[in-house]
Amino acid sequence: MSAVLLPAAVPTKAVRRLAASVLIAEALVVFFAVLVAVRLTPERTRAVVITGTVLAVAAIALSGLLRHRWAYLAGWLLQLALIATGLAVPLMFALGLIFAVLWAAAIRVGSRLVDR
């Protein structure tokens, strides 16, 4: 696969650092988005809180698993799930797309950097 979708067979430190940074930032944004979404959609409070918590915890867990190549594919699935939350809260479409672009950039740029 191309360097945008998955890193090399053994992800470098640069890829892992950049990708982990994106996932941690994503977890924080999802956490705060849940607080806003609960106010915007009070009739879906339980679903919003559960979905947001699962996505935030998954992002944090994946940030620690990035030494494995399969975690990058799971990261892409997480990006798709974040975009899909836009069905409940339309603003999440934009946030999901932003983080998908950041995820792709982290993999691509990190693959080009030389480890130090």
Greater pLDDT, 115 or 80? 80
Given a contact cutoff of 8 angstroms between Cβ atoms, the answer to whether 86 and 96 are in contact is yes
Contact by Cβ (8 Å): 114, 104 = no
pLDDT value at residue 109: 86
Residue 1 has pLDDT above 70, yes or no: no
b (16+ CB within 10 A) / e for 85-96: beeebeebeebb
State pTM to two decimals. Answer: 0.87
Residue range 17-66, pLDDT digits in tens? 999 999 999 999 999 999 988 888 888 889 999 999 999 999 999 999 99
Give the tokens for residue 109: 């740029």
